[in-house]
């Protein structure tokens, strides 16, 4: 049987009806679209890293990094502050009240769960690398920190941390090294930078692994830096001299006193470093100042919920110092607060204490007596308060980012850690090496 290609009368009628119906639907869609409220256009991610000459650039930029500080860690601090006032809720910290907020992916080039060196390299250079590497790529290529780009553009540079100044996170802002464990080689790269301000608990292995190499402090002196270990020592430093703040040699060179253990006679704090850094960096040239709360990570590795809470609050106090500076220069200042990764798998709520959280109990960790708390005692306090952990290592979830000031809108939404330095340079009106 041969099938005719000629449409029947019925099929012509059906086509006519379908055609008219399609026209009606299209007209309705146009009308509804015209009546619907218009959403603001979302700029492309690349635009958020671009230099925009139509807006004034950020002149003073702070980058605060809470090492190991996931959203749960921040929330735990907020909940604790609320409970301390007999309230249930989330008390705002200095940075959680910032209007611009987002989330940052943290994976490294060779693992979804990163380490501080790889994550720090991304935050400092805009490039991924393997775990353990400091501004060195997977194929051995070297990456340039934005600190060098900004110094070349005329800005002053400051780097501060609550741990040693040649630890992984501060290191990625001035050093290039195959392994984060090469503390001596990293420290030898500090003074030649000519950066204006450094601060930390100390310098690890200042005479090399065997203790027989030239002291890093001799090199630092040759480059004209003043090393100051007490607040009184600042009186003897000229305003133009480059400065390094370190703890007294009788104190730990690995980290500042834990925030939960302070007695008022504990040497430098992160707030001290931030205030002094601003005093040294402030001026007509503008500055970039990276401040790390490194002990958040240490407390989380120890699965110490109270320790985490006090370290996050300590970082928030340092951020508040920057906020005070912002209030004096609101049209020229950008503050960015983020983390390199999360640590510990912190959970607010555990199976043995369903639908309950008792954050006020974490106050028992505060004070001189807490120095003698054992791992078992810390675990018992966690359980009593309702805080749980999944690991003593890092975890892979996105971390929060908060921003305030000129260019802060660049940090809204979802982004990768490699976007952070690109957007900082874009906000400062400086073209980078990406």
Confirm whether 282 is domain-assigned.
Answer: yes
CA separation for the pair 92, 77 (Å, rounded): 9
Name residues whose C-beta falls within 8 Å of residue 365's C-beta, 6 or more positions apart in sequence: 260, 304, 306, 307, 310, 373, 378, 381
Check which CATH number belongs to the domain holding 260 and give it: 3.40.720.10
Which pLDDT band holds residue 51 (cuts at 50, 70, 90)? confident
- Does any domain span residue 1? no
Write down the pLDDT at residue 433: 76
Alpha-carbon span 296 to 280, nearest angstrom:
26
In-domain check, residue 116: yes
How large is the average pLDDT for residues 216-233?
97
CB atoms within 10 A of CB 266: 15
Domain tally for the chain? 1
Note the pLDDT of residue 20.
52
The torsion defined by the Cα of 66, 69, 70 and 74, in degrees rounded to 10, comes to -90
| Domain carrying residue 102 | 55-428
| CA dist., res. 345 & res. 354, Å (int) | 18
* Mean of per-residue pLDDT scores for the chain: 90
Ranking 44-48, 139-143, 248-252, 392-396 by mean pLDDT, the lowest is: 44-48
Q: Which residues is 156 bridged to in the sheet?
A: 287
- Three-state SS for 41? coil
In a domain, 372, yes or no: yes
Rounded average pLDDT over 2-13: 41
pLDDT digits (tens, 9 = 90+) for 286-340: 999 999 999 999 999 999 999 999 999 999 999 999 999 999 999 999 999 999 9
Residue 143 CA, chain-centre distance (Å), reads 19
pLDDT for 31: 40
Is the pLDDT reported for residue 164 higher than 70? yes
First to last CA, the chain: 69
Contact 92/106 with Cβ under 8 angstroms?
A: no
Tell me whether residue 34 is in a domain: no
Q: Is residue 47 part of a domain?
A: no
350-392, pLDDT tens digit by residue? 999 999 999 999 998 765 444 568 899 999 999 999 999 999 9
Q: Cα separation of 76 and 312, whole Å?
A: 9
346, 387 in Cβ contact below 8 A?
A: yes
- The whole-number pLDDT of residue 384 equals 97
Residues linked to residue 100 through DSSP beta bridges, in sequence order: 403
Task: Please state the length of the chain.
Answer: 434
pLDDT of residue 48 exceeding 90, the answer is no
Of 44-48, 117-121, 347-351, the poorest mean pLDDT is in 44-48
Q: What is the DSSP letter of 245?
A: E
Residue 119 pLDDT exceeds 60: yes
22: left (phi over 0), alpha (psi -120 to 50) or beta: alpha
Under the banding of pLDDT at 50, 70 and 90, the label for residue 34 is: very low
Whether the CB-CB separation of 423 and 114 falls below 8 Å is answered with no
In a domain, 260, yes or no: yes
Q: Please, which pLDDT band fits residue 274 given cuts at 50, 70 and 90? A: very high
Confidence of residue 25 (pLDDT cuts 50, 70, 90): very low
Tell whether 41 is covered by a domain: no
Q: How far apart are CA 383 and CA 361, in angstroms?
A: 10
pLDDT at 128 over 50: yes
């Amino acid at each position: 049987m041969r099938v005719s290609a000629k449409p029947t009368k019925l099929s012509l009628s059906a086509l006519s009806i379908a055609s008219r119906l399609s026209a009606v639907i299209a007209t309705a869609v146009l009308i509804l679209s015209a009546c619907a409220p218009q959403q603001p256009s979302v700029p492309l991610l690349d635009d958020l890293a671009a230099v925009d000459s139509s807006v004034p650039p950020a002149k003073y930029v702070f980058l605060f990094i809470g090492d190991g500080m996931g959203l749960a860690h921040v929330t735990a601090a907020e909940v604790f502050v609320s409970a301390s006032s007999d309230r249930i809720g989330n008390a705002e910290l200095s940075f959680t009240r910032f209007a611009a907020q987002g989330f940052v992916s943290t994976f490294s080039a060779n693992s979804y769960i990163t380490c501080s060196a790889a994550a720090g390299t991304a935050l400092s250079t805009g490039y991924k690398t393997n775990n353990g590497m400091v501004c060195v790529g997977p194929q051995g290529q070297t990456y340039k920190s934005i600190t060098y780009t900004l110094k070349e553009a005329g800005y002053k540079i400051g780097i501060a941390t609550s741990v040693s100044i040649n630890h992984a996170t501060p290191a990625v802002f001035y050093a290039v090294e195959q392994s984060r464990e090469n503390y001596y080689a990293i420290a030898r790269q500090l003074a030649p930078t000519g950066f204006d301000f450094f601060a930390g608990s100390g310098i690890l292995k200042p005479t090399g692994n065997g203790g027989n190499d030239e002291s890093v402090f001799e090199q630092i002196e040759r480059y004209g830096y003043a090393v100051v270990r007490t607040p009184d020592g600042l009186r003897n430093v000229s305003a133009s001299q480059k400065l390094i703040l370190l703890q007294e040699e009788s104190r730990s060179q690995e980290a500042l006193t834990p925030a939960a253990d302070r007695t008022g006679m504990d040497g430098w704090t992160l707030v001290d470093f931030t205030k002094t850094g601003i005093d040294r960096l402030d001026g007509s040239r503008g500055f970039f100042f990276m401040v790390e709360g490194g002990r958040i990570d240490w407390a989380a590795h120890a699965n110490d919920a109270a320790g985490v809470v006090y370290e996050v609050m300590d970082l928030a106090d340092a951020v508040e110092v920057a906020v005070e500076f912002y209030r004096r220069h609101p049209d020229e200042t950008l503050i960015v607060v983020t983390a390199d990764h999360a640590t510990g798998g912190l959970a607010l709520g555990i199976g043995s204490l369903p639908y309950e959280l008792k954050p006020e109990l974490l106050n028992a960790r505060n004070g001189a007596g807490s120095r003698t708390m054992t791992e078992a005692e810390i675990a018992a306090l966690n359980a009593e308060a309702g805080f749980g952990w999944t690991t003593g290592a890092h975890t892979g979830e996105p971390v929060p980012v908060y921003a305030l000031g000129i260019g802060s809108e660049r940090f809204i939404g979802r982004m990768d850690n490699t976007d952070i330095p690109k957007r900082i340079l874009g906000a400062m009106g400086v073209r980078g090496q990406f």
